[in-house]
Structure 1
Amino acid sequence: MKLYSIETGNFKLDGGAMFGIVPKSIWQKTNPADEKNLIDLAMRCLLIEDGERLILIDTGIGNKQNEKFFGFYYLWGDFSLDASLAKHGFNREDITDVFLTHLHFDHCGGAIQYNKEKDYLEASFKNAKFWSNESHWDWAINPNQREKASFLQENILPLKESGQLNMIDLPTNGSVLENSPLGFDILFVDGHTEKQMLPIITYKGKKIVYIADLIPTVGHIPPIYVIGFDTRPLITLDEKNDFLQKAVENDYILFFEHDHINELATLKLTEKGVRLDQTYSFSEVFDSI
């Protein structure tokens, strides 16, 4: 097995929305805001090469939306999905599986592209199976008012129409599905959105957790640092407390999707609770194990 960090692009969101009830005087120490109160965020994906399978976890925002839409999110930087794949010798047609942690636009937008010649929306990965779960799918196609702006039908419905959509079963006992069809365990969490899926990948004896929106950045590690976008913040609080404890006990390495500076981190137990131990670049960790 080989793992690759795939940078699909960067964007900005309101810092207050990203930190909920935590005062700006505190969160700006780790995530400084600009004059518009916006903080820098990444859309970092993970590519798993495992035998003949090439599994992409999340896809970034994509490029099919109009200028007005992208204007709300202040895209910046030179990263792109195609350039990141090419850096490692791959292209979209090589991808065998696309695992979507959840269907918010910044996680799944790149799964669907606009075909200008044929004037329709199509799958960006023609040879891949797309993976979601029935509970989250139903939640996304019948969105609540809080999440309606994040669940864009042009990102979601073409997945079904492509004939490439597959559903992962929910765990029958507890919140972790062991040995999923993708070959890794999956932690299901409900605070941010219904049945978000977090891959737990065993790599050379280490556990790598693609933490997605449970802990978007290093600055969100303390349990009460909950995103204002979460639909069930008190559930997030419980899920984070449980996860952080297990992360310390099992020496998890966290892979951050939205931290534009820190790719990976480990945690430690302190007198204030679980906190950041060390941050690492991708090469620092995977070249050493």
Structure 2
Amino acid sequence: MKLHVVNTGNFKLDGGAMFGVVPKTLWERTNPADEKNMCTWSMRSLLIEDGDRLMLIDCGIGDKQSEKFFSHYYLHGDDSLDGNLKKLGFSRDDITDVFLTHLHFDHCGGAVEWANDDHTHTRTTFKNAHFWSNELHWKWATEPNAREKASFLKENILPIQESGQLKYIERNGRITEKVFPNMDVFFADGHTESQMIPILNYNGKKIAFMADLLPSTGHIPLPYVMGYDTRPLLTLDEKGQFLNKCADEEIIMFLEHDSVNECCTVQHTEKGVRLKDTFKLEEVL
């Protein structure tokens, strides 16, 4: 197995929304905001070579939304999905599997593209891939509640099913083991229904792709829960359970949204689980 970091770009979100009830005087110590109270976040995917399979975990925001839509999120930086795949010697057609942690637009928008110049038809970006979700989350996303409706964009989601490339992972409790060789999945329901957190078994190490269960190192203290989460008290419980597991088992956490830190580890302290180390993924491979 080989692992590669694939940065798909940066965007900005309101700092207050990202930290919920936590006062700005506290969260801005780790995530400074600009004059509009916006903080920079990454959209960092993970590419996994495993035998004859090439799996991409999440695929960024894509490029098919309107100029007005993108203006709300201040996309910036030189990174792109195609550009960084090319640097690794791959193209989108080489991808055999796309694992979607959940279907919010910044995680799955890159899965679908315009099929024609007048933007009347779409197609999946990865024509040779299976797209992996789960039935509970798919129903949640395609019949969205009012709170999340703006994050579940039908043009990002429905074409995947219409293509015949959609596959479901069966949920069996909180942790589903051996979904793929060398991968288990932790299901979390606080941010959104049945978000999937993949845990890779790699050369004697465990690496967890944290998605929105832990957006950044600044979110490690338990009360630091995003305002976007649909069930914040459940997130408290899930995050506490998972961070304790990471501290106990020395699990490496791969951070999708932290604009500074690719990975981190945590440790038990008198104040609870806290940050131990930060590093690039390549430093531990």
Structure 1 residue 126 and structure 2 residue 127: aligned?
A: yes
Tell me the TM-score normalized by structure 1.
0.97
Q: Where do residues 136-175 of structure 1 align in structure 2 (5 Å cutoff)? A: 136-171=137-172, 174-175=173-174
The answer for the alignment partner of 1:220 in structure 2 is 219
Once the two structures are TM-superposed, the CA of residue 87 in structure 1 deviates from its matched residue by 1.2
C-alpha contact (below 8 Å) 2:208/2:251 kept by paired residues: yes
Aligned-partner SS, 1:231: coil
Aligned AA (2:194):
K
Tell me by how many angstroms 1:116 deviates.
Answer: 1.8
Could you tell me how far apart the structure 1 residues matched to 2:88 and 2:35 are?
A: 37
Report whether the alignment pairs 1:111 with 2:111: yes
Specify whether residues 67 and 182 from structure 1 end up closer, same or farther in structure 2 by C-alpha distance, changes over 3 A only.
farther
CA contact (8 A) 2:12 2:38 kept: yes
How far apart in 1 are the matches of 2:182 and 2:131? 15
Deviation (angstroms), 1:183: 4.4
Secondary structure of the structure 2 residue equivalent to 1:157? helix
Number of matched pairs: 284
Q: Give, in whole Å, the separation in 1 of the partners of 2:149 and 2:20.
A: 19
Aligned residues of 1:210 and 1:255 also touching (Cα < 8 A): yes
1:275 alignment counterpart:
274
Q: CA deviation at 1:282?
A: 2.0
Q: Deviations over 1:229-274 (max 9, x none)?
A: 0000000000011111111111000000000110000111111000
C-alpha distance in 1, partners of 2:11/2:74? 5
Secondary structure at the counterpart of residue 284 of structure 2: helix
User: What is the match of residue 250 of structure 1?
Assistant: 249
Q: Which amino acid aligns with 1:56?
A: L
Q: Distance in 1 between matches of 2:89 and 2:221?
A: 38
1:211 paired residue number: 210
Q: Is the 8 A contact 1:18 1:227 kept in 2?
A: yes
Deviations 1:177-212 (A, max 9, x none): 000046410000000000000000000100000000
2: CA distance between counterparts of 1:156 and 1:182?
26
SS of equivalent to 1:137: helix
| Structure 2 contact 11–73 (Cα < 8 Å) conserved | yes
Question: Following the alignment from structure 1 to structure 2, what is the Cα–Cα distance between the partners of residues 243 and 257?
Answer: 16
* CA displacement at 1:66 relative to structure 2: 1.2
- Residues 80-95 of structure 1: pairs in structure 2 closer than 5 A: 80-95=80-95
- Distance in 2 (CA, whole Å) between partners of 1:260 and 1:181 is 29
For structure 2, the 5+ residue unaligned runs are: none
> What per-residue deviation string (whole Å, max 9, x for no partner) do you get for residues 34-75 of structure 1?
000000000000000000000000000000111101001000
Unaligned runs of 5+ residues in structure 1 are none
The DSSP-based 3-state class of the residue aligned with 2:157 is helix
1:55 is aligned to 55
2:186 aligned residue? 187
Kindly indicate whether the alpha-carbon contact (under 8 Å) linking 1:168 and 1:181 is maintained by their aligned counterparts in 2. no
Structure 1 counterpart of 2:235, one-letter code: T
Which digits, 9 at most, give the CA deviation of each residue in 1:123-181, with x for residues without a partner?
0000000000000000000000110000000001001111100011011xx30000004
